[in-house]
Amino acid sequence: MTDDTAGRIADPSAASSARGRTGLYALVWRVPLLVWQFLFFVVPLAFLVYLSFWLVKNYRMIPGFDAINWVKMYSKGYFWDAYYLTFAMAAVATVVASALAFPCAYALSFKVSETVRRWAIFFLIIPFFTSYLVRIYAWQVILAENGVINGLLALRDLGPVAMLNTKFGTLVGYLTLCMPLVVILQTFSLANVDRNLIEAAHNLGCGRIRTVFTVIVPLAKVGLIIGAVFCFILSFGDFVSPYYLGGSRPPTLSILIIDTTKSGQQWPKAAVVAVTMIATLLVVAFAAVGAAYRKPK
Amino acid sequence: MAKSDNGKRIRTTRRKLLQYSGAAAGVALFTPYVHRSWAQTVELNMLSWYGLAEPDMVEEFEAQNNVKFKPKYYAGGDNMLAALAQSPAGTFDIIHTDAEYARILIERGDLVDELDPADYPFDDMQHDDFTKFPGHWKDGKLYSVMTRFGHLGVSYNTEAVTREEAMSYDVFWSPKVKGKVGHFDWHLPNLGEVSLLNGNTDPSPFDISDAAWDKLKEKTLTLKPQVKGFFDYGGTFASLKNGEILACVGIGDWVTGVVAKDGAPVDSVVPREGGIQWTESYSIVSSSTKKDMAKKYIQYTLTPPGQVRSANMAAYPGFCVTKSGQAALIEQTPDEAKRTSQMPGMANHPVTLIKEGRIHYRDTPKQQSLEDWNEFWSEYKNA
């Protein structure tokens, strides 16, 4: 350190000025994100909440502040049926996707070469090049009663098995949407686990399975949970799979939003459903992130 | 060989002759297009159900009038109202809508223009009702013109259900189609058909007392164990085609006509309890700056060529509303006319069915709110 530098750092006003410049620099980089989030998340969300208090008269929305939409919607049994179904289906999709993705991500992280891993990630990204709706229509061809799977079963005098327009169909759609993303997130997370710690566990006599659950999973916890949260969020809000593979039977919350708007411009009631969905997702996301970053006692 | 003004001879070789002829032919051929490119192409913004502004419907009119259609498609009258509400004035020039929603547009008072009845061939309409269609007139003034229609009843897989079985809505409760009944996912046509099965025909399946409404709900709920799913147009089309469903509530030839052309064994009938009519109409938007062209297009849709195109529309076929349109359909596409019973004297001719009182115009509920019907539909879907 030169005398000059040491002198400047020793000077409190100079240090304060440097901190100020750093703060301003950081703020300049943060501002676009903050502005974006404010304009395209906070403002629309506030409007959506406000909209849920409007009234509809003669097919026209009337601005106001009346809780009647909340009272009516929350008093309907079908709303809660749809809510529990949506939550349960998204939870099942999250568990299944995470469980199925883990062996795949584990293999990509620890058992294959760097080149193979790169190609695998490339192939996991490829599905996103195609429209999700198109992929779901492709599943219709595969899952239909006279589709590909039942055609193969028929060769063995089996079936037909009802898969399309069932909850199973919806689950297939959710996994189509989420699995590649969950595998990628888990792979990145597992790939960053310190190999020295794994070797240390082995050197200390820890078996392979025990190493996975007591060393690798805790170290990759954040990525694994983030992958699961993404799966839950995408499944919870998805409209396409429950409609086109589940036959809307019974409907999820996203379908209920569409149905509600078909009853004479009932957008305020649809807003009640939407706000409830967003609130649920926020609670789940914060709880999951809290769990991910919680320090072990 | 010819002489020039100064007396010199001009040698007209075969090559030059060909060049001049080619140039002349080129000018002659391309002049109309050059003329068109000089004239400003009119862009006509249409709010409509899917397919109404596709080339098979509008290409002839576009070519004749130097117009380019710019459609915004919707599915369901409520979506149409939403699209209107979310768009600034002047966004649309012409609206194509179901008759029951045309009534709502007209009731608003400031959305669509009054039309001059003399501009439209009402004397050529196949039925008196079409000239004074309910909800298209207000205080003796015309606001909307009916251009096509169709009937809803029982749609079925002909390999699983016979025509005789399909002649009653009871077929939806038949063990033969257990777990194989589909619903077009819109409460009005579905509940309207169950209302007909319950005998609510006077005055209309949509104008029923609260007691009849309770019975309708009760009857509808008994159908749930038979149901495979609730589908939009694409889903209904695919499910009928791949055999996922063997019978469908709430649709008619507008879907099965297209599926059948695709090779699937499906058909639709108007059962003994009666059928429901969907009716589509055009209105001119008050804030439009191209009202003359919009009017010209509505007039075109009622001409024989326009009616033939409508009857053969790729997205979904509809019946002709004019006599001259039907005559042209019979002449130009007799198979389609026969398939849809639009030949004179056919027992199931759409206008004959109306005259026999077997058809009821689809409408919004009269004694309950649309919200009541829709809420029950959500309950039913969750049952």
Q: Which domains does chain A have, with CATH numbers?
A: 4-10+16-51 (no CATH), 67-293 (1.10.3720.10)
Do A62 and A56 contact (CB within 8 A), yes or no? yes
Chain A nearest-CA distance from B195, in A, is 18
> Which residues are CB-neighbours of A193 under 8 A, at least 6 positions away?
A109, A215, A216, A219, A220
Point out which residues pair with B285 in neighbouring strands.
B112
Token representation of residue A280:
């649920």
Residue among A140, A146, A266 whose CB faces B371 most closely: A266
CA-CA distances (angstroms) from residue A91 to A233, A249, B311?
A: 10, 18, 48
Contact A264 B78 (CB under 8 A): yes
Q: Do domains B42-127+134-144+280-333 and B150-276+361-382 have the same CATH topology?
A: yes
On whether any CB of chain B is under 8 Å from the CB of A127, the answer is no
Residue among A61, A144, A162 whose CB faces B242 most closely: A144
Give B256: exposed, middle or buried? Use CB within 10 Å, 0-12, 13-18, 19+.
Answer: buried
What pLDDT was estimated at residue B22?
A: 58
Backbone angles phi, psi at B52, to 5 degrees: -70, -20
Cα separation, B307 vs B298, whole angstroms: 11
| Chain A residues with CB-CB distance to B243 below 8 A | 144-146
Residue among B104, B235, B374 whose CB faces A244 most closely: B235
Residue among B230, B238, B378 whose CB faces A140 most closely: B238
On whether any CB of chain B is under 8 Å from the CB of A239, the answer is no
Residue of B nearest to A252 (CA): B382
The architecture in CATH of the region B42-127+134-144+280-333 reads: 3-Layer(aba) Sandwich (3.40)
Kindly calculate the radius of gyration of chain B based on its CA atoms and give it in whole angstroms: 25
What pLDDT was estimated at residue A110?
A: 93
Most B CBs within 10 A among A55, A75, A78, A89, hence the mutation to make, goes to A78
pLDDT in tens, A166-218: 999 999 999 999 999 999 999 999 999 999 999 999 999 999 999 999 999 99
CATH of domain B150-276+361-382: 3.40.190.10
| Chain A residues with CB-CB distance to B230 below 8 A | 247-249, 251
Residue of A nearest to B381 (CA): A250
Most B CBs within 10 A among A47, A57, A59, hence the mutation to make, goes to A59
What pLDDT was estimated at residue B141?
A: 95
pLDDT in tens, A133-162: 999 999 999 999 889 999 999 999 897 899
Residue of A nearest to B233 (CA): A244
What pLDDT was estimated at residue B14?
A: 57
Residue of B nearest to A267 (CA): B82
| Chain A residues with CB-CB distance to B234 below 8 A | 244
What's the mean pLDDT when you consider all of chain A? 91
Q: Where are the domains of chain B?
A: 2-38, 42-127+134-144+280-333, 150-276+361-382
Contact A145 B243 (CB under 8 A): yes
Chain B nearest-CA distance from A256, in A, is 7
What pLDDT was estimated at residue B3?
A: 42
Contact B239 A165 (CB under 8 A): yes
Residue among A146, A250, A262 whose CB faces B78 most closely: A262
Sign of the Cα pseudo-torsion (B150, B153, B157, B163, in order): negative
Chain A nearest-CA distance from B229, in A, is 4
Chain B nearest-CA distance from A165, in A, is 6
Do B58 and B306 contact (CB within 8 A), yes or no? no
What pLDDT was estimated at residue B233?
A: 87
Cα separation, B192 vs A220, whole angstroms: 57
The 3-class SS string of A54-68 reads CEEECCEEECCCCCH
Of B194, B153, B238, nearest to A165 by C-alpha is: B238
> A3-10 and A12-37 helices cross at what angle (nearest 10)?
70
Residue of A nearest to B238 (CA): A140
Cα separation, B113 vs B107, whole angstroms: 12
What pLDDT was estimated at residue A61?
A: 85
| Chain B residues with CB-CB distance to A78 below 8 A | 375, 378-379, 381-382
Contact B374 A81 (CB under 8 A): no
What pLDDT was estimated at residue B77?
A: 83
What string of pLDDT tens digits covers the 383 residues of chain B?
344 444 444 455 655 555 655 555 555 555 554 444 456 899 999 999 999 999 999 999 999 999 999 999 988 888 888 888 888 988 999 999 999 999 999 988 889 999 999 999 999 999 999 999 988 999 999 999 999 999 999 999 999 999 999 999 999 999 999 999 999 998 999 999 999 999 999 999 999 999 999 999 999 999 999 999 999 888 899 999 988 999 999 999 999 999 999 899 999 999 999 999 999 999 999 999 999 999 999 999 999 999 999 999 999 999 999 999 999 999 999 999 999 999 999 989 999 999 999 999 999 999 998 889 988 998 899 88
What pLDDT was estimated at residue B10?
A: 45
Give A256: exposed, middle or buried? Use CB within 10 Å, 0-12, 13-18, 19+.
Answer: buried
Cα separation, A193 vs A214, whole angstroms: 13
Contact B244 A145 (CB under 8 A): yes
Contact A247 B229 (CB under 8 A): yes
Percent of chain A with pLDDT over 70: 94
Strands B94-98 and B275-284: antiparallel
Chain B nearest-CA distance from A247, in A, is 4
3-state secondary structure of B348: coil
What's A170's DSSP letter? H
Chain A nearest-CA distance from B34, in A, is 40
Contact A262 B186 (CB under 8 A): yes
Tell me, what's the ipTM?
A: 0.74
| Chain A residues with CB-CB distance to B244 below 8 A | 144-145, 164-165
User: From the DSSP assignment, how many helices (H) and strands (E) are in chain A?
Assistant: 16, 2
Most B CBs within 10 A among A134, A253, A262, hence the mutation to make, goes to A262
What pLDDT was estimated at residue B5?
A: 44
> Which residues are CB-neighbours of B93 under 8 A, at least 6 positions away?
B44, B45, B46, B284, B285, B288, B289, B290, B291, B293, B294
Residue among B78, B228, B235 whose CB faces A265 most closely: B78
What pLDDT was estimated at residue B4?
A: 43
What pLDDT was estimated at residue B1?
A: 39
What pLDDT was estimated at residue A280?
A: 97
Contact A263 B373 (CB under 8 A): yes
Element (H, E) at B287: none
On whether any CB of chain B is under 8 Å from the CB of A92, the answer is no
Residue among A165, A259, A265 whose CB faces B229 most closely: A165
Contact A259 B377 (CB under 8 A): yes
On whether any CB of chain B is under 8 Å from the CB of A58, the answer is yes
